[in-house]
Every structure is written in C-alpha cells, then in structure tokens.
Structure 1
Amino acid sequence: MGSKVRNIRMTQTKQSLINAFVNLVSEKDFEKITIADLTKGAKVNRATFYAHFNDKYELLDYILGDSASAAIVNRTKGEVKFDQDTISQLVLALCDFYQQPNIQCRSSYVGLVVPQMKDKILNELKVFLSQSLEHIYTNDEKNIYVPIFAQVIHEGALQWAVGSTVMSKEEVAKRVSLFVVSGFQSSDRTLS
C-alpha cells in the first residue's frame, strides 16, 4: 500500500475516533467511556485504536492540541509576526478556542478538560510568539518575554470566555493587543 493511501486512511481513522469521542462525551462521563465504546462508535477494532492512541487520555490530549493549533492558524492565516493586529488576532483565536471546544463539557469534564485546554493553548501561543520574536530578541530575552506575553494574551481571552467582562471579544482583543505592544515597545526601548 502506498504511503499516501496509508496516510489518508490513518487520518480518516483518527477522525472517526475523534468523532466517536465527541459523540460519547455528550452522553457519558469521561471516566465511564471505554475503549470498546470508542471503537464501536468509530467502527474500528481495538488494535486500530491502539495503533493511534495509548488510551482515551491521549485521544483527549490530541483533540485539544489540534483544536488549539487550528484556532491560532485560522485567525493568523498562518502568518507569523509580532504586531498589534496579530496580537489582536491571537486574543480572538483564544476566545474562539474557549468558546467552541470540540467537547460540549458536562460538569464532570470541567476539572479534567479546562486545565488541559489552558495548557494546550498556552503551549501553542508560546510557540507562535517565540517564532514571531525570533529576529527581535535573543533566546535569553525570549525566555523572559514570551511567557509574559502569552499569559497576558491568555488572561484577556479567558476573562472574556468566563464572562468576567461585558466587553465584546473584539474590544478585549484591541485592549490586550495595545497593552502587549506598548509593553513590547517599552521593553525594547530599555534594551537599547
């Protein structure tokens, strides 16, 4: 079998497992979902599941990571740069990510999924910011600024997502991007 056909089949199988998981989480608590439930829903055998994932936790991790990455790419159109518009789009990407999780959370998922969502989106955000600041800061400087910028962007989006502000997500994005860019410009002046 050619590698292209194998890759398409693997992608389709993974998507079937993801779809089965998404369908099951609306019906069952995470702890009660079994591999048998997933394989039945995806119409694959147990060995096929284990060829893709070690367990249901790895499947959840994959779903959240893929969703986080997609949210950022969708808003930034894959263009990696550090300016006010891009920072604004990153805030909106995080709002999108928190607004539309692939998992319609039952109350039993909140403790499991929300911390994992935060970790995934922060990691993706740090990767993006690190790449966008590649030619601006040294590695030591990036090690300081990237986590700070990521936390500010994340916190702005999270405040909107949990309803802690009456501002629209666009207004939050505008204010956070102004704050981050002005902090960036201030730090840049002090380095000169």
Structure 2
Amino acid sequence: MATKAMNIRMTQTKQSLINAFFQLVSKKDFEKITVADITKGAHVNRATFYAHFHDKYELLDYIMGDSASAAIVKRTNGAEKFDQDSIVQLVLAVCDFYEQPNIQCRSSYIGFVVPQLKEKIINELKAYLSKSLDNSYADTEKNLYVPIYAQVIHEGAFQWTSGNVITSKEEVAKRVSLLLMNGQ
C-alpha cells in the first residue's frame, strides 16, 4: 500500500512540475526559465525537481515524448494494425499532436521546439509502425519501409498543420492512407 501511495504522489508531483512549466512557457522564453521558476510554480523544492528530471531540457523532452505517444494511443486505441483506417488515424494523431494547446507556445520557441517535436512524433510513428508491420515484412524490408511510412504520415499531417493545404485534416489523412496502401 505504501508503494502505491508513493507512486501516486510521484505522478502528482511530476504533473505539478509539468503544469508549472506550461504556465511559464506562456509567459517567458525557454532560455529564461529556471529550475527555480518551475519549482516555485509547482510548490516543490529543487531536490524534488531533480528527483524527476536532470534539467529543464529533460523536462521538455519528457513532455514532448509523452504527448506524442498519447496522441497516437488516443487515435488508435492502442491497437497496432497497418491498414487504411490505421493510417488515417495516425495522420490525425500527428495533427492532434501539433494542435495541442500545451505544444503551441510562444513564437520564440518555434526554431527550438519544432525540430524536437518532429523527432518525437516520428519516433513514436516508427515504434507503432514497426509493431504493426511485424508479421507483414521481413526485418530487412521493415527496416526500409518503417522510416519511409513514418515520414510520409508525418509530412502529410505537417503540411495540414502548417496551413500549406486548404483541405480538411480528414481529407489529408485519407489521401495519405491511399498513397501508402496503394504503394504496397
């Protein structure tokens, strides 16, 4: 019972640190945010912060990775399949990921955060695709196709998110899925 209470408290503390960070990014440039600012907003001491994260960069990395994973799980319900509907859901998950209010922060973060966001969501796409294609391809083929599929899914969603296409995200997702399924 004590372990369960400890895990709940650690999860709540980590979430408090994340929430404090989000409050700060809406007001300050990332480079000006300090661990002291984060701990003050979370109402914890510095040692507690360091029990969870090495520094603010690790905190940001954790937030982005967790958000990318959650977006994919939410859209796919955790089912790892490779079919037209799953590809549609993956494209929509990437759109959701980039649309999250917590991800959309000050414009000064664009050059710093966007490359990290892209890396996190593509890594999550690769993990999903790798598992969903386990029985469809030999490892050598899978090693070729997984990164390509992940890039195509990401790029379709990113084009919509960036406003480079005027069609709906659902239509973009449908077109990307048709492209990938017809290319098999």
TM-score (normalised: structure 2)? 0.98
> Which ranges in structure 1 are unaligned for 5 or more consecutive residues?
185-192
Name the structure 1 match of 2:18.
18
Name the structure 1 match of 2:55.
55
| Count of paired positions | 184
Contact 2:88 2:174 in 1 (8 A): yes
**Counterparts in 2 of 1:61 and 1:35: CA distance versus 1, 3 Å:** same
Name the structure 2 match of 1:129.
129
**Displaced runs of 4+ in structure 1, greater than 4 A?**
none
TM-score (normalised: structure 1)? 0.94
1-side partners of 2:145 and 2:169: how far apart?
A: 24
**Counterparts in 2 of 1:58 and 1:101: CA distance versus 1, 3 Å:** farther
* Structure 1 residue 92: Cα displacement: 0.3
1-side partners of 2:77 and 2:27: how far apart?
A: 35
**C-alpha distance after superposition, 1:139-174 (max 9, x if no partner):** 111100000100100000000000000010000000
Name the structure 2 match of 1:95.
95
DSSP-derived class of the 1:126 partner: helix
Over the matched positions of the two proteins, sequence identity in percent amounts to 74
* Structure 1 residue 112: Cα displacement: 1.0
2-side partners of 1:103 and 1:93: how far apart?
A: 14
Contact 2:68 2:120 in 1 (8 A): yes
Contact 1:89 1:173 in 2 (8 A): yes
Contact 1:35 1:56 in 2 (8 A): yes
Contact 1:25 1:104 in 2 (8 A): no
2-side partners of 1:18 and 1:63: how far apart?
A: 7
1-side partners of 2:104 and 2:122: how far apart?
A: 21
**Counterparts in 2 of 1:152 and 1:103: CA distance versus 1, 3 Å:** closer
DSSP-derived class of the 1:31 partner: helix
Pairing of 1:33-112 with structure 2 (within 5 A)? 33-112=33-112
* Structure 1 residue 111: Cα displacement: 1.0
> Which ranges in structure 2 are unaligned for 5 or more consecutive residues?
none
